[in-house]
Amino acid sequence: MPGTTESFEVLVFDVNEGEVSQSREPIMAESADAARQLAGRLAETHAGTIALSRRGRVAIGECEPSVVLEQHGRIGDFD
């Protein structure tokens, strides 16, 4: 689709006061493989991670639902 962009990011989760929650801002990655690798490395020191792909047409504000590329450990709610 013309004008469609794809971005890749990793979300990091930790346990705080018994609750799993996102512990930092999303980390952008250059590719799906880079996001998967980063999620795997960060999972070693955090409760959980998730690598996502997002597609959208930024110029008109349309975004498709996120696609989970890879998930490790425990994750909380995310959008």
- Which regions of 1-79 does DSSP assign to beta strands (E)? 5-16, 19-22, 27-29, 48-57, 62-63, 67-73
User: What six digits make up the tokens of 20?
Assistant: 């799993």
pLDDT at 12 over 90: yes
Task: Identify the pLDDT of residue 53.
Answer: 96
Task: Identify the pLDDT of residue 51.
Answer: 98
Task: Identify the pLDDT of residue 62.
Answer: 82
Which pTM was predicted? 0.84
Query: Residue 57 burial by CB count (10 A; 0-12/13-18/19+): exposed, middle or buried?
Result: middle
Per residue in 47-63, pLDDT (tens digit) is 999 999 999 876 677 88
Task: Name the percent of the chain lying above pLDDT 90.
Answer: 66
